[in-house]
Amino acid sequence: MFCFQCQEAANGVGCKVKGVCGKEDQVAALQDLLIFVTKGVAFWADKGRSKGKPVDVETGRFITTSLFTTITNANFDEQALIGRIRQGLKIRDGVQARALSGCGCGCSGSAVLPECATWVSDDEAKIRAKAVEVGVLTTSNEDVRSLRELVIYGLKGVAAYANHASDLKHEDVLIYDHCVTALVGTIKDLTVDELVALTMKTGEMAVKTLALLDTANTTAYGKPEITQVNLGVRKNPGILVSGHDLRDLEDLMEETKGTGVDVYTHSEMLPAHYYPKFKKYDNLVGNYGSSWWHQNSDFENFNGPILMTTNCIIPVKGTYQPRMFTTGSAGYPGCVHIADRAEDGRKDFSAIIKLAKSCAAPKEIETGSITGGFAHAQVLALSEKVVAAVKSGAVKRFVVMAGCDGRNKDREYFTDVANALPEDTIILTAGCAKYRYNKLNLGDIGGIPRVLDAGQCNDSYSLAVVALKLKEVFGLDDINKLPISYDIAWYEQKAVAVLLALLYLGVKNIRLGPTLPAFLSPNVAKVLVEKFGIKPTTTAAQDVPAMMAGV
């Protein structure tokens, strides 16, 4: 095993025996093999494109779902991964047959093809044996490996967001097309410059995908509104929904209407409360707990069933495992998995609802409320007020502190920064990083809250839209001339996609923490520092004055 895709990579290098995330070595190997097989699918899809046969939706969906399945903390279930590998081999055969139909060039000869395009086995023992042979260390050149993995991890984030958009009937074949191009690029002998260009193209596609998901969410559920979200509990039995998938929450809300069962959001599902459509459900009663890594205590205290809709699972404790369900790309051994919905149908959550009715009401762990809903439409509606505050000097600077939370003690840095920022600064946030400071009493500036929560990690797109609009309003020719600093927390691959999106949009001098990614080789890290000004976070005492000075 060798895995260095997330911020928790052991010793800042990589996990070699067991993932800090809890991933066993065999799970890690099977995920590597799934990526290997997915590259084979992409290879044949690319061959088809060269013969005028565009990437079809089924192939695109398989690629994005497979990439999503291998994201950190998503799927720990070996049998689920083996099943997807077998599915991938069948899909690869079909894509290959389609690519070669009517072709007389003889390009099916195995001697000229990469192994990912030809390897096949249905035997579980052989699948497991192959899985340990195809990890990231098979690329010997450190810099090439670093850039290839940067592309793949950015793709994993893009795939996650594309998957959510697809659930809401919004797809863009250009995203699937780029996934094919990028995956094939990682099995070619591209130069460093070509890999850097492919990385930036992935950033461009991240922007496109984030915009697509924003459209999908607002079309389905309305534009987020400023909302106070309850943190307390009621006396009814409840279901706790974690992860990121709004379509799953919608299905559950429809099925729980009139059942006497309350529904609570957890971690990245908090922003569901900001959407007008979800406000119509009187049994969507509040947010419970904190960010993903607190789930052992949050899930234990909740008493009722938990639905994990996507990644952000930590090793499940036996005490609440009988109450935990997974769905979509998520999976954990011993937890009941809810099957995918049929076309134009809903998922069947009846088993969760039945269990909820037999459970005690949630234990109250806090009271009060928190305010959010500051996505781009809402902030731009307040643009005159915001611009006036900047021009008057009431607001000196915005600090984007979006991204991921995590277990690392060094992440207290982000709380320290929030507390240390002068009272004439506003924090723009999205993602679960906000749990480090969204319950602090930081006040407001002329009625503008000092913490503006745009929503989930994908709503980092909203923060980019706000920045671009302010650039236009102030008549600037460079987004980096705005009074905005970027202090980004990262953990997994969706954050990598957001980072690449910001780089594509031209944002420079981003602070990234609590550590720089282990998958960046010294030379690749040097390129990012020299070209984009990326720098590691240090301490609040050092970084806050620098940010206020615009450096």
Which helix or strand (DSSP H or E) is residue 126 part of? Answer: helix 124-131
Choosing from 202, 220, 238, the residue where a domain stops is 220
109 shares its domain with 252 = no
177 shares its domain with 303 = no
What distance in Å separates the CA atoms of residue 234 and residue 223, rounded to the nearest whole number?
28
pLDDT recorded at residue 103:
65
Residue 1 falls inside a structural domain: no
Q: Which amino acid is at 440?
A: L
The phi-psi region of residue 427 (left if phi > 0; otherwise alpha if psi is between -120 and 50; otherwise beta) is beta
417 shares its domain with 464 = yes
pLDDT recorded at residue 107:
56
What distance in Å separates the CA atoms of residue 399 and residue 419, rounded to the nearest whole number?
12
Mean pLDDT for back-to-back runs of 10 residues, the chain (551 residues): 97 96 97 98 97 95 98 97 98 96 60 91 97 97 98 98 97 98 97 96 98 98 97 98 98 98 98 98 98 97 98 93 97 97 93 98 97 94 89 96 96 98 97 96 94 95 92 93 97 97 96 97 95 96 97 91
Cβ(238)–Cβ(262) below 8 Å: yes
431 shares its domain with 348 = no
Choosing from 328, 357, 386, the residue where a domain stops is 357
Residue 165 falls inside a structural domain: yes
524 shares its domain with 544 = yes
DSSP-derived secondary structure letter, 361: P
163 shares its domain with 82 = yes
pLDDT recorded at residue 382:
87
Q: How is residue 78 written in tokens? A: 């070996």
CA dihedral 93, 94, 98, 104 (to 10 degrees): 30
434 shares its domain with 494 = yes
pLDDT recorded at residue 289:
97
What distance in Å separates the CA atoms of residue 291 and residue 495, rounded to the nearest whole number?
15
What distance in Å separates the CA atoms of residue 14 and residue 71, rounded to the nearest whole number?
15
Q: How is residue 330 written in tokens? A: 């998520």
337 shares its domain with 231 = yes
Structural domains in the chain (count): 3
Tracing tokens 């000075």 back to the chain, one arrives at 549
Report the SS3 class of residue 147. Answer: helix
Residue 187 falls inside a structural domain: yes
246-256 and 350-357 helices, crossing angle to 10°: 60
Bond into 536 cis (ω within 30): no
| Max intra-chain CA distance, the chain | 72
Report the SS3 class of residue 460. Answer: helix
Can you give the residue range of the structural domain that contains 76?
Answer: 10-220
Q: What CATH number is given to the structural domain containing 392?
A: 3.40.50.2030
Residue 515 falls inside a structural domain: yes
Cβ(399)–Cβ(547) below 8 Å: yes
What distance in Å separates the CA atoms of residue 44 and residue 88, rounded to the nearest whole number?
12
Report the SS3 class of residue 536. Answer: strand
Choosing from 220, 244, 259, the residue where a domain stops is 220
14 shares its domain with 163 = yes
Residue 447 falls inside a structural domain: yes
68 shares its domain with 158 = yes
